């Protein structure tokens, strides 16, 4: 069973979103420009996207924005323009290639395996962080993007200098999903992840090897945000922190909420 790895925020203005996260008390990694692999030559080529991260002892948040006129860059820019906020749920497993093969064997439509990389500074020398991603077919999860990844160089990301945050956050615990069909959406993700969907009150939960995903009725998600939600999408997250509170996203991050709790 995979673990909750990270959540991705797509934004139109990376600098404004980074400033907003810092104002919320998060420590940020430097901006990194992503590359992908040329299938013909194996050489790195610009992906047209860049990111920075908020790293926790468990999991992280990724702030993603477009930097070039590539397929990935155009896609991120278009989705951020349509709705800035949470767009990506990334799970992690020790072997994304095996996960991909198993899902194909079970009848799931899968996109081609993707291999990404980005150079990350460390306190001694730069490291090229590499990732392999297994991704279901487009449209299978209408609530947002879902992927299962393998980190080939986790030491590049989880550097001690980035793990302490002024707001006290220490771990990413859950993704919150608003949907008109909580049960069906939860069961779909549970089948894909190889786990189960559990009803807790009016919400459905999908437990993972670490963390979980919660599926909320649209009315409850709207009440928490104090704003209407009319379609299915990722809208919030839970973080482990010293004090319980919920904080709406600032405008630069789009619509959403962070729930801090012991």
Whether residue 124 has pLDDT greater than 90: no
- CA nearest 4: which of 171, 232, 230? 171
pLDDT above 80: residue 80:
yes
Considering the domain architecture, whether residues 107 and 139 belong to the same structural domain is answered as yes
Residue 119 — pLDDT band, cuts 50, 70, 90? confident
pLDDT of residue 125: 83
pLDDT class of 72 with cuts at 50, 70, 90: confident
Domain-terminating residue out of 127, 162, 197: 162
Looking at the structure, tell me whether residues 87 and 181 fall in a common domain.
Answer: no
Cα 138 from chain centre: 16
pTM: 0.94
Domain end among 162, 184, 216 = 162
Let me know: does 136 contact 146? Beta carbons within 8 Å: yes
pLDDT in tens, 8-61: 999 999 999 999 999 999 999 998 887 777 777 877 788 889 899 999 999 999
In angstroms, rounded to a whole number, what is the distance separating the alpha carbons of residues 89 and 8? 7
In whole angstroms, what is the distance from residue 203 CA to residue 177 CA?
A: 10
- Give yes or no: residues 17 and 131 share one domain: yes
3-state secondary structure of 11: coil
User: pLDDT tens digits for 236-260?
Assistant: 999 999 999 999 999 999 999 999 9
**Is 197 found in the same domain as 156?**
no
Same domain for 180 and 144, yes or no, is no
In this predicted structure, what is the pLDDT of residue 199?
Answer: 98
Q: Average of pLDDT values for 157-176? A: 97
The yes-or-no verdict on residue 107 having pLDDT over 90 is: yes
Q: Are residues 254 and 144 in the same domain?
A: no
In angstroms, the CA 226 to CA 203 distance is 18
Is 232 a residue whose pLDDT tops 90?
yes
For 187-248, the DSSP string reads HHHHHHHTS--EEETTEEEEE-SSSEEEEEEHHHHHHHHTS---S-EEEEEEEE-SS-EEEE
What is the overall mean pLDDT for the chain?
A: 94
Same domain, 156 and 179: no
Residue 75 sits in the same domain as residue 136: yes
Asked if 165 and 27 touch (Cβ cutoff 8 Å), the reply is yes
In this structure, are 124 and 235 located in the same domain?
no
Domain boundary pick from 132, 162, 192: 162
The domain in which residue 107 lies consists of 3-162
The CATH number assigned to the domain holding 218 equals 2.60.40.4320
Distance (Å, rounded) from C-alpha 86 to C-alpha 236? 7
Please state, in angstroms and rounded to a whole number, the distance separating the CA atoms of residues 112 and 193.
18
- Which CATH number fits the domain that encloses residue 116? 3.10.180.10
List, for residues 58-71, the tens digit of each pLDDT value.
Answer: 999 999 999 988 88
CA Rg value for the chain: 18
Could you give the percent of the chain with pLDDT greater than 70?
100
pLDDT tens digits, 137-152: 999 999 999 999 999 9
The H-or-E segment that residue 38 falls in is none
In the chain, the number of structural domains is: 2
What is the pLDDT, as a whole number, of residue 7?
98
- Which pLDDT value is given to residue 117? 82
- 187 shares a domain with 153: no
pLDDT in the model for residue 46? 85
Tell me, yes or no, whether 56 and 110 share the same domain.
Answer: yes
The reply to whether 149 and 210 lie within a common domain is no
**pLDDT (0 to 100) of residue 134:** 98
């Amino acid at each position: 069973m995979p673990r909750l790895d990270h959540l991705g925020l797509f934004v139109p203005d990376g600098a404004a979103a980074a400033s907003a996260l810092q104002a919320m008390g998060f420590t940020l990694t430097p901006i990194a420009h992503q590359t992908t692999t040329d299938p013909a030559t194996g050489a790195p080529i610009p992906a047209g996207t860049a990111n920075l991260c908020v790293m926790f002892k468990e999991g992280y948040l990724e702030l993603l924005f477009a930097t070039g006129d590539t397929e990935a860059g155009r896609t991120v820019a278009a989705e951020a323009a349509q709705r800035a906020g949470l767009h990506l749920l990334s799970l992690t497993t020790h072997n994304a290639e095996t996960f991909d093969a198993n899902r194909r064997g079970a009848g799931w439509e899968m996109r081609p395996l993707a291999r990404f990389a980005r150079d990350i500074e460390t306190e001694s020398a730069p490291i090229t962080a590499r990732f392999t991603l297994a991704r279901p077919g487009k449209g299978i999860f209408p609530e947002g993007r879902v992927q299962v990844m393998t980190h080939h160089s986790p030491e590049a990301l989880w550097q001690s200098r980035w793990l302490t945050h002024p707001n006290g956050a220490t771990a990413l615990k859950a993704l919150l999903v608003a949907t008109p069909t909580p049960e069906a959406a939860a069961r779909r993700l549970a089948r894909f992840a190889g786990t189960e969907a559990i009803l807790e009150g009016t919400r459905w939960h999908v437990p993972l090897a670490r963390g979980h995903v919660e599926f909320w009725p649209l009315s409850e998600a709207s009440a928490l945000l104090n704003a209407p939600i009319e379609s299915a999408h990722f809208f919030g997250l839970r973080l482990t922190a010293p004090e319980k509170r919920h904080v709406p996203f600032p405008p630069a991050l789009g619509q959403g909420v962070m729930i801090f709790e012991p």
